């Protein structure tokens, strides 16, 4: 199989089995008190394709959940996400509207983080607003939400507008890529 064919095969596999995620960890020693963690993962009973994915992306770890033997390929290193994961899926895109939307949000958050905005309250709020629209649907749970991070009440007159999560603006691209 050619490298190009393999790239499209792996993107299709991720389309069905992978996810782009944004989570939070309470970190009292951080300026804003929270760490934003971006992660890309794919889980499978059989690890064969996960090893191929790891080899092609040249990053991430594969771990096995003891209780059921499920294998998981995980990438959480921000530099690997910016320089390996995002460029791979820009080259070999996902096609479903929901996965495309999730990837676009993931890229926007990566761009904010690459600029250091996650280290400010304003930037953290932007990330949390975007995060509300990633992986929508039944079964989604969040340990921490906007109210946990910013407990003050907003006035009822506050007009909330949905961020444009589907545009390609603010996608992080490594230096030298259009």
DSSP letter string, the chain: --HHHHHHHHHHHHHHHEEEEEEEEE-TTSTTSEEEEEEEEEEESS-HHHHHHHHHHT--EEEE-TTT--EEEEE--HHHIIIIIHHHHHHS---SHHHHHHHHHHHHHHHHHHTTGGGSHHHHHHHHHHHTTSS-STT---SS-HHHHS-SPPPTTPPP-----SS-TT----TT--
Q: What is the pTM of this model?
A: 0.83
Q: Give me the tens of pLDDT residue by residue for the chain, a chain 178 residues long.
A: 898 999 999 999 999 999 999 999 999 999 999 999 999 999 999 999 999 999 999 999 999 999 999 999 999 999 999 999 999 999 999 999 999 999 999 999 999 999 999 999 999 999 999 999 998 876 677 788 888 888 875 544 444 555 565 565 555 555 555 5
The CATH class, in words, for 3-137 is: alpha beta
Judging by DSSP bridges, how do beta strands 71-75 and 61-64 pair with one another?
antiparallel
């Amino acid at each position: 199989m050619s490298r190009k064919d393999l790239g499209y095969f792996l993107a299709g596999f991720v389309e069905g089995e992978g996810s782009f995620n944004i989570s939070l960890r309470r970190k009292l020693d951080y300026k804003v008190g929270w760490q934003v963690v971006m992660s890309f993962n794919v889980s499978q009973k059989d690890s064969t394709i996960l090893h191929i994915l790891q080899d092609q992306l040249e990053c991430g770890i594969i771990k096995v959940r003891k209780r059921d033997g499920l294998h998981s390929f995980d990438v959480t290193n921000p530099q690997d996400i910016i320089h390996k994961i995002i460029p791979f899926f820009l080259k070999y895109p996902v096609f479903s509207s929901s996965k495309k939307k999730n990837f676009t949000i993931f890229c926007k958050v990566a761009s904010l983080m690459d600029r250091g905005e996650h280290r400010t309250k304003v930037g953290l709020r932007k990330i949390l607003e975007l995060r509300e629209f990633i992986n929508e649907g039944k079964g989604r749970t969040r340990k921490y939400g906007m109210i946990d991070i910013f407990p003050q009440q907003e006035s009822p007159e506050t007009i909330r507008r949905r961020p444009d999560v589907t545009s390609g603006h603010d996608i992080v691209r490594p230096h030298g890529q259009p």
